[in-house]
Structure 1
Amino acid sequence: MRILIDMGHPAHVHLFKNFIWEMEKRGHRVLVTARDKDVVTQLLKAYNIPYIPVGKKGTGSLNLIKEWTFRDFDIIRIARKFNPDILLGVLNPATAHAARLLGKVSVTFTDSEPEIAKYPIADTITLPFTDVILTLSSVQHDYGEKEVRVNSYKELASLHPLRFSPNPDVLNIAGLTPEDDYALVRFVAWGAYHDMGQGGLTLEDKHALIRELEQSCRVFISSESPLPPEFEKYRLPIPPERMHDFLHYAKIFVSDSQTMTTEAALLGTPAVRCNSFVGKNDMGNFVELEERYHLIYNCKDGISVLSKVRELLLSSDLKTEWARRREPLLQEKMDLTAFMVWLVENYPQSFAEMREHPEMQYSGASAMGGVS
């Protein structure tokens, strides 16, 4: 098979990297295009995944629309030359449009409900043109006849125990020992299209949070946007491809981030999340991680965050307890990489089978193509 994957966010690299390696190992050819955003291209280089640069991060809604337009043309041009059988993306209008125009198959992944975005532009201009909408069992939205649901999280494509083992030498890079307690804090920039009208921790909240954490552990900050001068001393000194190692060994994770909150939960690190998405219309995966597995806490404001952080840090066996809570999740959730390999390799039969018998996924990933 010939497969084209477009990546616009660092999380997309983690979602697809094992899929790429597995498909190439099976003799398929994969072409990657990538947006110059955050650390997308840095991660691809670190994982030795060749890519074609397409598009560059802009600011503001008008620039985003302009970028999407140019990406459409670029992806269509690249796809016409490469002639893929299937195009994959994460709520990606460019891959969906290119596939429709060229008469190819488009698989679009999404793990969020369109209702959570004040302006669900990407859903509107992507989903009508895609052939398969791959989503999660926790998503609280019915995508109709194109939908395929898998009982997993997108982060399990890279963090399932079959795919990831933490490497403790990351502690040396940060000047830590295995006995040191530390907190990882993540701040996002709130510049993506789905973040319009949304927000996270205020500067005052961030100062109060760091003061609270410093009373019991070292603090490290990862940030999408430039850090204020007073926070520079907390800057995380590790390369982005080692983030999951570092997150695994942290005592606690606090953030207004979406993806990294889920990653912390799957790694057994207590996570406290705070942003304006929290509430009655929150994403289903965060509701499930809090209410079913008790691995994260969703907070609406900075005061609630401080209260929860204080409570958690009083526990002497925090990591042991979270490892125990994590086990039922790992027993119930699937290796998403294995599922994607089976779905793509066996399309369209796989799509028809999942629509007719969605429970078949529970027979285990090994039955879906023998992915190791």
Structure 2
Amino acid sequence: MKILFNMCHPADVHFFKNAIWGLEKQGHDCKITTVDKDVSLNLLYAYGFECDVIGSAKPSLFSKATELLKIEYNLYRIAKSFKPDILVGGVGNAYSAHVGKMIRKPSIIFDDTEHAKIEHLLTDRFATTICTPSCFKKNIGKNQIRYNGYQELAYLHPNYFTPNPAVLDELGLNEDDVFIILRFVSWTASHDVGQHGITNKIEFVKELEKYGKVLITSEDELDDVLEKYRITTSPEKLHDLLYYASLCVGDGATTATECAILGTPSIYVSSLVGTMGNFIELEDKYGVILHYSDSDKALDKAVELIQKPNLKEDWKNKRDQLLKDKIDVTAFMVRLLGDYPNSFQV
């Protein structure tokens, strides 16, 4: 089977990589197209993937709209040449859904973001199958498959991820050191319009560095005061660093979920309260994420947590229970994609 993966975000690279390797081992022919966004290309090259760049991420809604036409034209041209049996995309990947309709081939979209209204409007009615976590709050219809897991489990499940402490050496750290990671996003996605995350970044740094080393990972430019805290390690090593971190605080939803699955205490700061099923479940059922819309309250909680002596051990225990309850998401993806459409009925 020929499978065309279109990746629009760095998280897609992590999400699909193990499935692609698994499908290729079974003899399937996988091709990757990508939108150049943040560190997407760096990740693809770091993992040894070949890809065709079909466009780039744009900041404004108008530029996104014009870029959409360019991306879809390039994806259509490649799809006509490659002749895929199915097209696959991640969250809000309208391009794969649209081009699938154009070439009369099925499209499978993996989504976990209920509040992305524009993306759902552009995608859901065109996609052949949409896969969501079982905790997904939105009922899409008869073409929806719910699986008992989270997208981040596709690459952070122990079957696929083993932390490498070498990343600590690069930063002059060891496993016993207390260090806090702050994650800042750019808030330029269409579903982020009108929303906000951490508003007092400098205060966060100054207060938290009283208890340990502070490291920042940011999609956006930083003030001169904060730039010296920016992580310089290569992006494919970020999950190793998250695993060993004492605490992670930020307004990046994916990073917050990754930390939760890795057993690292995670505080998510966002005005988007109660909109995503995965966050509700991770907070209310497993207690591995704490969600605040108020930056000051989030900082108070961060200071409280970082002073707890058995914090990491407590979080590892919660994470172990989560892993017992959830499936191997990559194995599910390989079964679904490798035997589609028969697998849809199963």
Same fold (TM over 0.5): yes
Give the structure 1 partner of residue 113 of structure 2. Answer: 112
SS at match of 1:293: coil
The answer (yes or no) to whether the contact 2:252–2:268 under 8 Å persists in 1 is yes
Give the structure 2 partner of residue 51 of structure 1. Answer: 51
- Amino acid aligned to 1:258: A
Give the structure 1 partner of residue 295 of structure 2. Answer: 302
Give the structure 1 partner of residue 65 of structure 2. Answer: 65
What is the distance in 2 between the residues matched to 1:311 and 1:124?
Answer: 41
Quick one: which of 283, 287, 311 aligns to 1:290? 283
What is the distance in 2 between the residues matched to 1:29 and 1:107?
Answer: 16
1:1-372 equivalences in 2 (<5 Å)? 1-90=1-90, 91-113=92-114, 116-117=115-116, 120-202=117-199, 205-278=200-273, 281-353=274-346
The answer (yes or no) to whether the contact 1:185–1:253 under 8 Å persists in 2 is yes
- Amino acid aligned to 2:328: D
- Amino acid aligned to 2:108: V
Per-residue Cα deviation, 1:233-286 (whole angstroms, up to 9, x for no partner):
1011210000000000000000011000000000000000101102xx421101
Report % sequence identity.
43
Structure 1 runs (4+) greater than 3 angstroms displaced: none
The answer (yes or no) to whether the contact 1:293–1:329 under 8 Å persists in 2 is yes
TM-score, normalised by the number of residues in structure 1 = 0.91
State the shift of 1:178 in Å: 2.1
State the shift of 1:346 in Å: 1.8
Per-residue Cα deviation, 1:106-158 (whole angstroms, up to 9, x for no partner):
00111021xx24xx222111111111011110111111100000000000000
Question: What value does the CA root-mean-square deviation take over the aligned residues?
Answer: 0.9
How many residues are paired up?
345
SS at match of 1:128: coil
TM-score, normalised by the number of residues in structure 2 = 0.98
Per-residue Cα deviation, 1:189-214 (whole angstroms, up to 9, x for no partner):
00111111111111xx1111112211
What is the distance in 1 between the residues matched to 2:18 and 2:341?
Answer: 22
State the shift of 1:310 in Å: 1.7
What is the distance in 1 between the residues matched to 2:203 and 2:87?
Answer: 45
The answer (yes or no) to whether the contact 1:5–1:89 under 8 Å persists in 2 is yes
Which ranges of structure 2 fall in alignment gaps of 5 or more residues? none
Which ranges of structure 1 fall in alignment gaps of 5 or more residues? 354-372
The answer (yes or no) to whether the contact 2:211–2:307 under 8 Å persists in 1 is no
Give the structure 2 partner of residue 367 of structure 1. Answer: none
What is the distance in 1 between the residues matched to 2:95 and 2:309?
Answer: 49
